[in-house]
């Protein structure tokens, strides 16, 4: 089809789309590998949940959520680090492309699940940040792990990194609402509101500790 003078090139013209797809093949492939790694980790937690429910007659996991970082967020993070948007750069420098969030019943479940996962011989711990024992200044609590696990493809085995966040229901309520209201938002939050958010985080943690203590007493009396 003839293009009129000054008429902008349509993104969806076949040649253009082919070129875009060709260029993004490496990126799409890498994202697929991360998705596979995420599935592996999700399955590991589901298996642990099944095992615990057999042994202890209750589920330590409420939900497992997965998310793949969007191309826009990847680009923003690379820009912040002063790096170029290239497949090799992404894999080398970003450790949170694949994310798995595990929402647990009790604080002790967070540590039991983390220890059980890290004891598996195909899981390698790359980094651990314990924001439960050392919460962030704003009150954020979670246990963060970056692990490497193998994914098995038709002719290849590949080590992929996954970021895992483990937290209780109470920690998740606080983090989800704070994320909506202020986390990484370009807004000026007053000292008063920051103090209130911190107070809410402490209230949520006090609830966690009380529920954990009640749970321990009930299991001891069994």
> What residues line the site for ligand 0O2 (CB under 6 A)?
96, 129, 136, 138, 140, 144, 175, 178-179, 183-184
**CB–CB of 175/135 below 8 Å?**
no
Nearer to ligand 0O2, 112 or 198 (CB): 198
Closest distance to ligand 0O2 from the beta carbon of 85 (Å): 16
Closer CB to ligand 0O2, 150 or 169, in the complex: 169
User: Which residue carries 């991360």 as its tokens?
Assistant: 34
Beta bridge partners of 65: 101
Closer residue to ligand 0O2 in complex, CB, 52/110? 110
Q: What is the dihedral of CA 89, 95, 101, 105, to 10 degrees?
A: 180
Residues involved in catalysis: 163
Q: Are strands 98-104 and 157-168 parallel, antiparallel or unpaired?
A: parallel
The CA distances from residue 73 to 22, 80, 145, 211, in Å, are 22, 10, 20, 37
Kindly give the residue spans of alpha helices, DSSP state H, lying in 57-137: 71-80, 87-93, 107-118
Across the beta sheet with 124-130, the strand order is 61-68, 98-104, 157-168, 143-152, 124-130
Q: How far is the CB of 122 from ligand 0O2 (least distance, A)?
A: 23
The residue among 91 and 96 lying less far from ligand 0O2, judged by its C-beta, is 96
Of 80 and 217, nearer to ligand 0O2 (C-beta) is 80
Q: How far is the CB of 69 from ligand 0O2 (least distance, A)?
A: 7
Q: Where are the beta strands (DSSP E) in 29-181?
A: 61-68, 98-104, 124-130, 143-152, 157-168
Q: To the nearest whole angstrom, how small is the minimum distance from the Cβ of residue 50 to ligand 0O2? A: 27
CB of 207 to ligand 0O2, least distance (A): 18
């Amino acid at each position: 089809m003839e293009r009129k003078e000054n008429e902008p090139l349509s993104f969806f013209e076949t040649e253009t789309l082919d070129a875009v797809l060709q260029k993004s093949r490496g990126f799409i492939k890498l994202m697929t590998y991360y998705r596979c790694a995420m599935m592996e980790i999700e399955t590991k937690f589901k298996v642990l949940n099944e095992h615990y429910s057999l042994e202890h007659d209750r589920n330590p996991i409420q939900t497992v959520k997965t998310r793949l970082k969007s191309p826009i967020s990847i680009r923003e993070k690379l820009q912040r680090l002063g790096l170029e948007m290239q497949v090799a750069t992404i894999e080398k420098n970003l450790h949170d492309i694949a994310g798995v969030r595990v929402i647990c019943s009790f604080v002790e479940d967070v540590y039991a699940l983390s220890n059980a996962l890290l004891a598996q011989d195909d899981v390698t711990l790359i980094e651990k940040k314990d924001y439960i024992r050392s919460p962030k200044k704003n009150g954020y609590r979670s246990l963060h792990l970056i692990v490497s696990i193998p994914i098995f493809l038709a002719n290849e085995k590949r080590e992929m990194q996954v970021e895992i966040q483990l937290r209780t229901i109470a920690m998740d309520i606080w983090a989800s609402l704070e994320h909506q209201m202020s986390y990484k938002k370009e807004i000026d939050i007053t000292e008063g509101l920051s103090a209130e958010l911190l107070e809410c985080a402490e209230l949520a943690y006090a609830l966690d500790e009380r529920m954990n203590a009640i749970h321990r007493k009930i299991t001891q009396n069994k």
